A and B are shown apart, each in its own frame.
Chain A
């Protein structure tokens, strides 16, 4: 049981380039989300999904797109990378309803030059 798998673990981009961070979970979780972690700011929610075909914006969605075509996958797209998007990105999922615990991936460290 792999849990939540994120790829790549590290990426360096130039300003204006695009890329996709991949996230896959094998726990049949309905809820998936993307957070970014910046020093002194904790984790901030970018986008989330409550099921296949349903996505919504979190606290800091600008510059990011998501889609949820399957239950397992929830990719995060940066259309035109900016230095302000340099961060560590975490994908997380949870199942069921109520106060369910989030299972996090190991993170993807992105640097935009």
Chain B
């Protein structure tokens, strides 16, 4: 069975500082990994994904994530945080081959960027 963990419910960071939102996963095969962001009263929006290849994946709004197979992690990063980055962030995983493209989501991390 596939699973994903986001160990931090809340992350606070000052504007202009680098941010990291942590994610670890468990799959039986090779993972497809995703980050989604949710702004208040909105649906989830795709940020980036890792399928194969380069371990550093670049996505929308200046975000990037590093795939680490040995640590089974896929942490989300941004070099300089903005107040507008404040939102709820979800990591998701799908095992390959996975049935019907089902994703398993983490519990979410609330990111607050302080001005």
Contact = CB atoms under 8 A, between A and B. Distances in A.
B11 to A, nearest CB: 15
A2 interface: no
Contact of B90 (A42, A105, A107): A42
Interface residues of B, number: 25
Contacts of A42: 6, 90, 105-108
B108 A106 contact: no
Contact of A31 (B9, B44, B100): B100
B100 A90 contact: no
B44 A104 contact: yes
A97 to B, nearest CB: 8
Q: Which 3 A-B pairs have the closest CB atoms?
A: A104-B43, A99-B32, A43-B105
Interface of A: 4, 31, 33, 35, 40-45, 48, 50, 56, 58, 90, 92, 94, 98-107
